[in-house]
Amino acid sequence: MILIEQAQTLLSSVSNPFRRKEVLGRYLVAVLFLALAPLQALAQDAFRLQEAVNAPEWLTLKGETRIRYESLEGQFRSNRQGSDQLLLLRTLLHAEVDTGQIVLGAELQDSRTYLGDEGTPLSNSLANPLDFLQLYARVEELPGLLGESSQSHLTLGRQTVSIGSKRQIERVSYANVIKGYTGGYLLSESQRGDELHTFLVVPIARFPNTRPQIDGNVLEADQEQWGRRIWGVHYRRSNILPDVVPDLWGELFVYGLEEDDTTEFQTPNRSHIAPGFRLYRKPSVGRWDIDLEAALRNGTRFETSNPADTQSLNVKASMLVGIIGYTFDAPWEPRLSLEYYFASGDDDPNDLNFDQHERLFGGRRTDLNNTSIHGPLTPANLSAPGFRIQVTPSDRWDGWFQYHAAHLAAKTDSWVIARLRDPSGQSGKFIGHELDARVRYWVVPNSLRLELGASGLIFGRFPKTVPNGPEGNGTLFGYTQLTFTF
C-alpha cells in the first residue's frame, strides 16, 4: 500500500499523460531494483512450493511468476510513431498427479499487460488472462520404437511441445504468452540417448482477441482450432560420428500443416509438408561447436484467410540456419560464434507461387532478437549474417551480445514484422544493423533471477526509402525482468 500511495503522489505532480506513463515506468524499474537487496539477504535456499506445502510423493507442484518492464524509443512498424512502454506479468502453476503408469497434469497460465496505449502493438501473444495452458494425461513406460531397450510415453490432451532446436515447434520462454496445443504426442527414447518424436495436434486459439478486451485483460476461455492440424515426425540420434566429431547429434524431421475453414476460424487453407535436417554439437570449453539446420516447405495455400479468396498458390519456401562457434578455456569462458539465418521471400508478388517462409510454431528470440513490443526480425523473408559473444563469469552470471546485418531475402517482398513492402524493389534489401544484448544474474540461486536486455536497430536503406516507412534513424529497446521460480 505504501508503494501505491507513493506512485499516486508522484503521478499527481505530472500533468502530461504521456510523461506520466514514462515516469510510472521508471518508478516501477526502480522498485524492482530496490527489492533485490533484502530478498538476497533473507533467502538462503531456493523456495519450492512442493516443500512448503509438504506435498505427498504422488503430487508434484511447481511454478513461476515473472514481471518485466519494457521501453521502446523510435518505431519501425508501419503507421506507428513515438515511444512506447509496457509492463508484462506472467504466472504459471503446474501440478501433476502420479497414479502409477498414468500421470495426470494441469498447468494454469495467467498473462497480463499494463501501461500500453493505443499505439502499443498489443495482441493475444502478449496478454492471455487466466486459462489452462495444459490439461493432459501421460501414459508412462510404454514399449519403445527404437529397439528392445527403448521406452515411450504418450501424452494426450492440451499440452506444450518443444523439440530439438525449437525452430520448428517450441514452448516459448521469453514471450509473455506460451502457445498450447491439443492432441497426442509420443516420445520414444533409447538407452544411448536417441529420440523419436511423433505428434498430431491442433493449436489453441488464445482469447481475448479484440483490442479493447486485451487492453482490459478480460477473462475469456481459449479454444481449440479443430480445422488446423499440425503433425510431425522428428528423429534425433546422439553421437553419430564418435571417432571423428564426438558428441555430434544428427536429426531428420518432417512437419506438416493442414487447414480447413470452420465457422469459428477462417484460414488461408494451408496444406504443406516441410522435411529437413539438423547437425548439432553443443558448446563446450576448449572445442568447436556447430548448429546447422535446414528445411524445405512445399504445398499449397490461399493468399489470405478471406473466404472469397479461392486462388490456390504453390508454396515453395526454405529456411537455413548455420552457426559455428568456439568456447575458449579462459576466465569467463568466452564463446565466439559466426551465425547466418536465411528464410526465403517471395520474389514475384504477381505469380501463383508463395515463396515466403512463414514462422508458424517455432521460436525466433534465441536466434535473432529480443521480441515483445520490439522484435523487428523474424524467420520470414530474411537474410541475416552476424556474430555472437557469450560469457559466463560464474554460476550466477551469464550474458551475451549479438549482431546481425539484416537484409530482405527478396526485395519485392515484405519486411514482415514492420508490415512494409515495396513491390517495385527500388527500396533495396538492407533493413539495418540489429544489435542485441542480455545479462542474467541469480539473485537467489535457482529461485530468483534478474535479467536485463537491450536491443538497437539502426535503419538501413529499405526502411529509409520504402513508402510509408518509419521516421528517424532507428529504434532502441530495453527491458528489466525478474523471474521467481517456485
Four-CA torsion 445, 446, 450, 452, nearest 10 degrees? 110
The region of weakest confidence among 99-108, 213-222, 279-288, 326-335 is 213-222
| Residue 428 CB-density burial (10 A; 0-12 exposed, 13-18 middle, 19+ buried) | middle
* Torsion-angle region of 150 (φ positive above 0: left; ψ -120 to 50: alpha; else: beta): beta
What confidence score (pLDDT) does residue 82 get?
82
Cβ neighbours, 10 Å, residue 376:
25
State what percent of residues in the chain have pLDDT above 70.
91
What confidence score (pLDDT) does residue 11 get?
46
- pLDDT reading at 33 higher than 70: no
Strand (E) or helix (H) holding 300 = strand 288-302
Cell of 308: 472469397
* Cis peptide preceding 208, ω within 30 of 0: yes
pLDDT tens-place string over residues 40-88 = 544 557 889 999 999 999 999 999 999 999 999 999 998 888 889 999 9
CATH, range 54-485:
2.40.160.100
Q: Which ranges constitute the DSSP H helices of 77-128? A: none
- pLDDT reading at 4 higher than 50: no
- CB contact at 8 A, 472 and 432: no
Distance CA 357, CA 352 (A): 15
Radius of gyration of the chain (CA): 23
Q: Dihedral sign for Cα 406, 412, 415, 418, please.
A: positive
Distance CA 139, CA 208 (A): 33
**What are the domain boundaries of the chain?**
1-42, 54-485
pLDDT tens-place string over residues 379-423 = 999 999 999 999 999 999 999 999 999 999 999 999 999 999 999
- CB contact at 8 A, 111 and 125: no
Q: Which amino acid, 134? A: Q
What confidence score (pLDDT) does residue 79 get?
83
What confidence score (pLDDT) does residue 35 get?
52
- pLDDT reading at 16 higher than 70: no
**CA 351 centroid distance within chain:** 32
